[in-house]
Amino acid sequence: MPALFPITPARLRSSVGRLVRRLGLQPGGEPDGLGEDTSLRDTVLDQRVVVFFPEPLRNAYQLEQWLGPLAALDERHGVVVLTQDSRTTAHLRRVTTLPVLCVAWTATMEALVRRGSLALALYVSHHPRNFAFLRWPELAHVHLGHGDSDKAVSASNQLKAYDRVFVAGRAGAERVLETLMWFSADRLVEVGRPALPRPAPRHRPATAPATVLYAPTWEGAQQSMSYSSVATHGVALVRSLVAAGFRVVYRPHPRTGANRADVRAADAALRDVLAGEAVRGTGSTVDAASSLEDAFAGADLLVTDVSSVAVEWLPTGRPLVVTVPAEAGAVVGPSRLLDAVPRLAAGSAAAAGELARRCLADDRERRQREALVQHYLGGADPDAALTRFLEACDAVLRERDALRAGPARAAR
C-alpha cells in the first residue's frame, strides 16, 4: 500500500533538521532557528526601531557593543531586537533590558513589520540572513557594522543593499567610496563610535613591569579575510615579550579557531605558555573575559592584527604595533593607520620584545596616531558620537516618514 505522505529527501532533511535543533545539537556557528513564532502570532510592536540580528551565540559580541547607544535610542523611538537563534536570545535577555524576540518564519517577520509601528531597521553584521529582513520596502534599512577597521569586509559590496551606511569617521567613508563601484556618497553617514567608551588613564607603578596586550583577530571565513597572527606569530611573539621582561596579556578573539585546526592548536599552545608564566608568577596571563575597555586600561602597549581593535586603541594615545598578515591572499588596501605604526612580520615575531622596548622608550609615532583619532573615529568623545548617532537615526526616520507619506497621499 503506498504511503499517504511519501518520505521525500526534502521532507527527511526538514524532519532531521528540526530534531537536531530541538536536541540542541545544532553546530555553534549556525543559528538554530528555534523561534517563538507561535507566541508572537498576534503581537503588535509599538517600537519604531528594530535591530535584526540573525547571528549565533558566538557572535553576540557584535551586538553587545551597541547596547548602550541602542538603549539611548530606545528612549526616543523604542527599540526591539529580532534574532533567529534561541541561544543568542537567551543570552541577550540576560545582558539588556531591550525586548528581544526570536523569529524563525518569514511570515512572522512580515506580520510584525506590517502590523506594528516599525520604521527603521538596523544591522550590525554581514550575515547572509540579513537579506531575509531587507525585503520590506516600508522600512529604512541602515547598516551599523561592529567596529571600523582596514579589513576588506569594512567595504563589502553587501553595503549596497542598505539605504544608509553609518561609518565612524572619514576613513570609513573613503574606504567604501574607493572600493565600491556605483555607490553614492550620500548614503554614507559619519556618526563616530558611540559604542566606544572614553579611555581610562594608565597608572602603572614604577616598580611594575610594562604590560603588553596581545589581542589578535580571528582567522576569518575566507582567504581574503585571513588577518590572524595567532598561528603565524603568536608563540614566538609572546615568548619574546616575556623574555624581554614584559607582562603579557593574551586576549583571544571570541571566534579564534572557529574555522582552522592550526589556529586552535596555536591558541592552545599560547595558553600553555602563559599558564607556565602564571606558575612562575610573572603576571602574564590569558584574559578572554574582560571587556576591551578594561583590557586597554591595564596595558602600556598593544600588539594586534589588522582589525577594529587597532582603531579603537588610538584614543589611548599609547604605542601600537600591528602585525603583517602572513596569508598572501589577505586583502590589505591603502591605510593611513598601517602607514603610521610599526609592523611586525611573522619572520620577525621572535624580535617582538626588542620592538616593544623601542616603542615604549621612543614613541616616535605618537603624533601621527593622535591625528588618526579624528580620521578614523570622528573624534574621541563618546558623548558627541552618541549625539551624532541619535540625530542620524532621527534624520533617517524623518526622511523615511516623508517618503512613505507621499505615495499614501497620492493613493487617496
84 with 221, same domain: the answer is no
Give me the pLDDT at residue 57, please. Answer: 95
Which of 340, 338, 336 shows the shortest CA–CA distance to 375? 336
Burial of 138 (0-12, 13-18, 19+ CB in 10 A): exposed
pLDDT in tens, 219-265: 998 888 999 999 999 999 999 999 999 999 999 999 999 999 999 99
pLDDT in tens, 318-334: 999 999 999 988 888 88
Contact 161, 131 (CB under 8 A): yes
DSSP E strands: which ranges in 5-78? 49-53
Task: Give residue 351's domain range.
Answer: 211-377
176 with 283, same domain: the answer is no
240 with 310, same domain: the answer is yes
Q: Does position 306 have pLDDT exceeding 90, yes or no? A: yes
66 with 121, same domain: the answer is yes
Answer yes or no: is 14 within a domain. Answer: no
Cα–Cα–Cα angle for 192, 197, 201, rounded to 5 degrees? 125
176 with 230, same domain: the answer is no
Give me the pLDDT at residue 412, please. Answer: 47
Give me the pLDDT at residue 146, please. Answer: 92
What whole-number percentage of the chain has pLDDT above 90?
A: 81
Answer yes or no: is 309 within a domain. Answer: yes
List phi, psi (to 5°) of 166.
-85, 125
149 with 90, same domain: the answer is yes
Answer yes or no: is 364 within a domain. Answer: yes
Answer yes or no: is 5 within a domain. Answer: no
- CATH number for the domain harbouring residue 108: 3.40.50.11720
Contact 320, 304 (CB under 8 A): yes
186 with 215, same domain: the answer is no
Residue 289 CA: distances (Å) to CA of 32, 61, 238, 266, 277: 25, 12, 19, 19, 19
Mean pLDDT over all residues of the chain? 92
Query: Which run of H or of E encompasses 37?
Result: none
Quickly tell me which residue has 540573525 as its cell: 54
- What's the pTM? 0.89
Over residues 47-72, mean pLDDT: 97
148 with 218, same domain: the answer is no
Over residues 132-158, mean pLDDT: 95
Give me the pLDDT at residue 235, please. Answer: 98
Over residues 351-366, mean pLDDT: 96
Among candidate residues 137, 157, 190, the one where a domain is terminated: 190
pLDDT in tens, 373-394: 999 999 999 999 999 999 999 9
Looking at residue 204, its amino acid is R
Contact 142, 123 (CB under 8 A): yes
DSSP annotation string for 235-301: HHHHHHHHHTT-EEEE---TTTTSS-HHHHHHHHHHHHHHHHHHHHT---EE-SSS-HHHHHHT-SE
